[in-house]
Amino acid sequence: MTRFRVASLVLFGALSTVTCVHAQTPVITWPIGWETEAIVPDDATSRVSRQRAVKNDQGGTPTLVMELTMTQVESGHQVNLEGVLLEMRKAVQKDFFQSGYQSVCNKIHETRLSRLPALETTCTITQNGRHVLSQTLVAAVDGDKAYVLSYAGQADVYKASQEEIAATRNSLQL
């Protein structure tokens, strides 16, 4: 389940001209019963704000992970959102490939993330021809802030959790 982290890290690298986060943390209502955490940076001058929620099965094994990341962008820097999302998607595909999986991602398309226009792509991850995981990446920019919502999970749980995912996305206040 840590593969989506690689995608988030690619965004941070692509947005190399950043400043410290002084903005308010986005508000998101995570699904009931999910384990949630705000990921505290190692450095007090961190440029990012991250929140994560994990859906576990009855045995405590993670089956779906959602993460919201906000990165402060230097004033005046123009973010090539499609380029960033392409790099994130490429990193996800490469990471899965190196772990013995194949992945196919749909075409990047327009969507919304809260009140913002955004871009989105979803990848289907297979192993030996069997669909095992799905991952969606959604990215948006608002002035001096870039946002990424990533969610990934076991294929059956991902499909069955679409209502929870939609409710979580709809609750987002940026």
Residue-wise pLDDT tens digits, 15-44: 333 333 344 678 899 999 999 988 876 665
Domain 3-171, CATH class in plain words:
alpha beta
For the chain, list the strands marked E by DSSP: 35-39, 48-56, 62-72, 102-105, 109-113, 116-127, 130-142, 145-154
Region 114-120: mean pLDDT is 95
Please report, rounded to a whole number, the percentage of residues in the chain having pLDDT higher than 70.
Answer: 83
Domains of the chain, residue spans = 3-171
Does the pLDDT of residue 124 top 50, yes or no?
Answer: yes
The pLDDT assigned to 25 comes to 76
Q: What is the mean pLDDT of the chain?
A: 84
Q: Is the pLDDT of residue 164 over 70?
A: yes
Query: Per-residue pLDDT for 10 more than 80?
Result: no
- Whether pLDDT at 151 is above 90: yes
Q: Do 124 and 104 meet the contact criterion of CB atoms below 8 Å apart? A: yes
- Predicted local confidence at residue 78, as pLDDT: 83
| pTM of the predicted structure, to 2 decimals | 0.81
pLDDT digits (tens, 9 = 90+) for 66-114: 999 998 888 777 889 999 999 999 999 999 999 999 999 999 999 999 9
Q: By the 8 A CB rule, do 136 and 122 touch?
A: yes
CB 29 within 8 A of CB 40: no
